[in-house]
């Protein structure tokens, strides 16, 4: 089946997903954002400025690197890494925040707020805010400020205020709640830079448009370097922005399989995971209809992942739509599988990946074995793992005081 890129509709719906489940207080701001974004999309000057920042500030296009020694462990399939880890600030998040920071300025607002899990989106937002002279506040769950302490320091160094969120599960979901609470009170001068393809319309569409450059580049690089399209495109999925970014341009390419990997945490059977599309049910969270980890009475179930960036009980509505249409396949990867792939890429290719991205790498090992040595896999290496050294050192026992 060929799926055309015709979503979302005017109401922001991807099939039965998406929409705008937002408090009335935010509706005027969402309408303004939608209207201004439609104008910006048609505005050559806006697009030129965005392109210029991507090229001369973020460092695009990012490389496409073949990983032959890693591929030996993945059934001998050919593996190509889309190197979003090499972007300024170290992940694909910079694409989205540069677009939204320009939108903030365009709407005459002077302050941005953001939620962050791993800290990559918070760092990217703090960076874009510094670049464009915007005031910046980042909400981050207290559990995440602890496991990503270095990123907290980076954000503060860049001039942002970092607010540790101490309620609920004290992770990404609660950081989103707190950012919304801030936004309701400050919407006149503040833009909420949502960090992934989630939230009320137009966020899932707008963020996708800002990150789809990843797939646009990768598709052209494949054609140029291989003379053909890959057999499969793989990415990790938390909220889902790096995955939508790399998938989107390939959606109409019927022969290209799309695989998203959610965090299975300690294992689906333990209940301690973040596999929203594998184990969740359709509901409403954070302004959108999508798959949600929830109980039978609609209460959100706390997610778990070793990776702060995937530790989220919802998912962008376009992924739910891609799942339901069958265009993309979603599977899950445990903490242990992700950490194994993390170590494997370090030792075979000399690249330290983010733990988030390591879920896609672990997926590549599985899919490579399934599809065999003739297959070519394009993997989104969405971020670098410097921020994860604390977690990795603890996991692998690498600190000198561990006595190993």
Partner 1 sequence: MSVATAFEKAKAENRAALVGYLPAGFPSVTGAVEAARAMVDGGCDVIEIGLPYTDPLMDGPTIQDAVHRSLTGGTRLADVFATVEAVAATGAATLVMTYWNPVDRYGVERFARELRDAGGSGLITPDLTPEEGQEWLDVADAYDLDKVFLVALSSTEERIEKIVDVCRGFVYAASLMGVTGARSAIDTGAPGLVARTKAHTSLPVGLGLGVSTGAQAAEVAGFADGVIVGSAFIRRLLDAPTLADGLRDAHALAEELAEGVRARA
**Interface residues with partner 1 (CB under 8 A)?**
11, 19-29, 167-168, 173, 176-177, 180-181, 184-188, 281, 283-287, 292, 294, 296-300
Taken in order 351, 162, 246, 337, the sign of the CA dihedral is positive
Nearer to partner 1, 145 or 290 (CB): 290
- Comparing CA positions, the residue from 342, 372, 347 lying closest to residue 358 is 342
Q: How far is the CB of 172 from partner 1 (least distance, A)?
A: 12
Please say which residue, 271 or 373, places its beta carbon nearer to partner 1: 271
Least distance (Å) between residue 383 CB and partner 1: 26
| Least distance in angstroms from the C-beta of 24 to partner 1 | 4
How far, CA to CA in Å, does 304 sit from each of 55, 271, 287, 311?
Answer: 36, 9, 22, 5
Instruction: With beta carbons less than 8 A apart as the criterion, state whether 371 and 77 touch.
Output: yes
Annotated catalytic sites, by residue? Answer: 93, 115, 382
Q: Minimum CB separation from partner 1 for residue 184, in Å? A: 6
By beta-carbon proximity to partner 1, the closer residue of 25 and 389 is 25
Taking the least distance from each CB to partner 1, the nearer of 164 and 168 is 168
Specify whether the CB–CB gap between 319 and 239 falls below 8 A.
no
Q: Is 24 exposed, middle or buried (0-12, 13-18, 19+ CB in 10 A)?
A: exposed
Least distance (Å) from partner 1 to the CB of residue 193?
17
Contact 167, 143 (CB under 8 A): no
Cβ-in-10-Å burial (0-12, 13-18, 19+) of 167 comes to exposed
> Which residue, 290 or 382, is less far from partner 1 as judged by CB?
290
Instruction: Identify the DSSP state of 57.
Output: I
């Amino acid at each position: 089946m060929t799926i055309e890129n015709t979503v979302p509709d005017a109401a922001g719906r991807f099939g039965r997903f998406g929409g705008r489940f937002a408090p009335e207080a935010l509706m005027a701001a969402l309408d303004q954002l939608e209207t201004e974004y439609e104008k910006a999309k048609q505005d050559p000057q806006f697009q030129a400025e965005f392109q210029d920042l991507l090229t001369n500030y973020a460092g695009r296009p990012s490389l496409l690197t073949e990983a032959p020694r890693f591929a030996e462990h993945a059934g001998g399939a050919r593996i190509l890494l889309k190197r979003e880890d090499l972007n300024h600030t170290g992940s694909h998040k910079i694409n989205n925040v540069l677009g939204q920071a320009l939108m903030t300025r365009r709407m005459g607002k002077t302050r941005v707020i953001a939620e962050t899990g791993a800290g990559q989106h918070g760092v990217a937002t703090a960076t874009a805010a510094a670049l464009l002279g915007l005031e910046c506040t980042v909400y981050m769950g207290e559990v995440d400020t602890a496991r990503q302490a270095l990123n907290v320091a980076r954000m503060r160094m860049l001039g942002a205020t970092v607010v540790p969120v101490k309620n609920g599960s004290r992770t990404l979901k609660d950081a989103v709640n707190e950012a919304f609470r801030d936004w309701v009170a400050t919407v006149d001068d503040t833009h909420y830079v949502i960090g992934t393809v989630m939230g009320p319309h137009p966020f899932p569409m707008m963020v996708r448009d800002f990150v789809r450059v990843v797939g646009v580049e990768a598709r052209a690089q494949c054609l140029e370097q291989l003379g053909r399209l890959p057999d499969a495109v793989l990415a990790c999925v938390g909220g889902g922005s790096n995955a939508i970014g790399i998938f989107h341009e390939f959606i109409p390419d019927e022969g290209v399989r799309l695989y998203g990997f959610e965090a299975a945490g300690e294992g689906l059977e333990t209940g301690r995971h973040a596999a929203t599309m594998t184990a969740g049910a359709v509901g409403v969270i954070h302004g959108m209809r999508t798959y949600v980890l929830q109980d039978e009475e609609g209460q959100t179930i706390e997610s778990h992942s070793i990776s702060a960036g995937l530790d989220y009980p919802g998912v962008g509505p376009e992924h739910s739509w891609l799942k339901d249409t069958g265009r993309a396949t979603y599977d899950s990867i445990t903490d242990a599988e992700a950490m194994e792939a993390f170590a494997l890429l370090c030792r075979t290719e000399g690249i330290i990946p983010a733990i988030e991205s390591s879920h896609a790498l672990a997926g590549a090992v599985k899919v490579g074995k399934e599809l065999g040595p003739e297959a070519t896999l394009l993997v989104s290496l969405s971020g670098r793992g410097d921020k994860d050294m604390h977690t990795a050192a603890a996991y692998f026992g690498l600190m000198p005081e561990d006595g190993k």
